[in-house]
């Protein structure tokens, strides 16, 4: 059985709607929780190709906050090794920013919060990619305040008016999503509680966010499964 490692920064930002599709594709799932005892050392010692697939999940910190969160240095070093091996790698939100940083690109505050359910616009490359399910149904969940420059050699897949670099690919084996295609909207209450300070500071209507999660839950779960399955089918290995 193939192995999929998810690097997790906060417990409620997990594989979500991606988990069933990974299991259906024959992957054994495990999490590395960087904030728990032993997680930092495991990350520092982790061989870059131990797992068939690595997915780096989201979190409410900045890639550039190395002084406050020293584990970021080990995480970026691991991603540099994984990129050098061209081993299958996916990043979501903070994870995409970490991959961009590991690939030599700049990550920085965007100057605004993009939080809520809104459409993405696919590029021509994006329409031909695993994001094809979003061509006719472009709605997804956004939850970020940082952005990044495209890494050298990366192909832009999706944008929004507020944030140009919403998804990118580095060849066939590396992909990053600034938005949250994996979010399981049936668990949105954990996000609303976990991010309450951010939501209130940004003036987000929490009741509407909850209502929208219920409205779009099934559509987003279907697109999550289709997107992940298409990406796995296109891997080089």
| Set 163, 180, 185, 195: catalytic member | 180
DSSP states of 45-114: H--TTSSSEEEE---SS-TT-TTT-THHHHHHHHHHHHHHTT--EEEETHHHHHHHHHTT--EEEEEEEE
Active site residue 130: no
DSSP states of 119-185: E-EE-HHHHTSTTGGGTTS-EEEEEEEEEEPPPTT-EEEEE-SS-S-SEEEETTTEEEESS-TT--G
Active site residue 152: no
- Measured in whole angstroms, how far is the alpha carbon of residue 103 from the centre of its chain? 16
| Set 93, 130, 163, 185: catalytic member | 93
Q: Is 169 in contact with 155 (CB distance < 8 Å)?
A: yes
Alpha carbon distance 191, 196 (integer Å):
8
Say if strands 174-177 and 89-92 run parallel, antiparallel, or are unpaired. Answer: parallel
| Set 9, 114, 182, 185: catalytic member | 182
Active site residue 163: no
- What tokens does 163 get? 């944030």
Active-site residue list:
93, 180, 182
């Amino acid at each position: 059985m193939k192995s999929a490692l998810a690097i997790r920064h906060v417990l409620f930002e997990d594989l979500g709607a991606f988990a069933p599709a990974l299991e259906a594709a024959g992957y054994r799932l495990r999490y590395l929780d960087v904030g728990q005892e032993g997680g930092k050392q495991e990350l520092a010692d982790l061989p870059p190709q131990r797992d068939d697939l690595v997915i780096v999940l989201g979190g409410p910190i900045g890639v550039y906050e190395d002084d406050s969160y020293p584990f970021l240095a080990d995480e970026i070093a691991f991603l540099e090794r994984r990129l050098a091996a061209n081993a299958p790698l996916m990043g979501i939100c903070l994870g995409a920013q970490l991959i961009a940083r590991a690939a030599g690109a700049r990550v920085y505050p965007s100057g605004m919060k993009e939080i809520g359910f809104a459409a993405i616009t696919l590029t021509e490359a994006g329409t031909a990619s695993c994001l094809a399910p979003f061509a006719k149904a472009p709605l997804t969940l956004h939850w970020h305040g940082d952005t990044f420059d495209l890494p050298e050699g990366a192909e832009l897949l999706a944008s929004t008016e507020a944030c140009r670099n919403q998804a990118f690919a580095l060849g066939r084996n590396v992909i990053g999503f600034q938005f949250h295609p994996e979010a399981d909207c049936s668990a949105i209450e954990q996000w609303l509680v976990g991010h309450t300070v951010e939501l209130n500071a940004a003036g987000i209507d929490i009741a509407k966010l909850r209502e929208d999660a219920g409205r779009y839950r099934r559509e987003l779960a279907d697109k999550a499964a289709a997107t992940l399955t298409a990406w796995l089918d296109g891997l080089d290995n």
